[in-house]
Amino acid sequence: MKGFALVALLLTPVAAQACQTASEADAAQLFERWNSALQSGDPGLVAATYQIDAVLLPTLSNQVRLTPAERLEYFQQFLQKRPSGRVISRSVRSQCDTLLDAGVYEFTFAASGETVQARYSYTWDWDGKQWLIGSHHSSLMPQG
């Protein structure tokens, strides 16, 4: 009887967790969550939108940011410029628990009035509860 119970257990289908997928509207909402964190002026809120092991290739720094402390340090500097972002164009791809949002965005820096455009890509990953940034690349446009 024990053998039968073991075979029955092995043959019983395990309920798989459903994949989270996202739409272009979801990508826009996730960007706005990140942008609102920027506008809060609190580097901790911005850093909290990233996974603990996220990769940040920032817009205004040559240093790759791989740790929470490194990302926090970058946003402490970046937020002094009082940035506000808006997406100009985007392309979205979504698969199981991963969303790629890539395109061009523009930052206006209230501290100086300067506006810059940059290419970006975010890889958002579903952690079972929320979407967090797994990688973020941002670079100024190479041609003005």
Question: What tens digit of pLDDT does each residue of 69-110 get?
Answer: 999 999 999 999 999 999 999 999 999 999 999 999 999 999
User: What whole-number distance in Å separates Cα of residue 135 and Cα of residue 43?
Assistant: 17
Q: What is the mean pLDDT of the chain?
A: 91
Parallel, antiparallel, or unpaired: how do β-strands 50-57 and 131-140 relate? parallel
21-140 adopts what CATH topology? Nuclear Transport Factor 2; Chain: A, (3.10.450)
Nearest to 89 by CA among 144, 141, 142, 37: 141
The ranges assigned to domains in the chain are 21-140
Q: Is pLDDT at 129 greater than 50 in this prediction?
A: yes
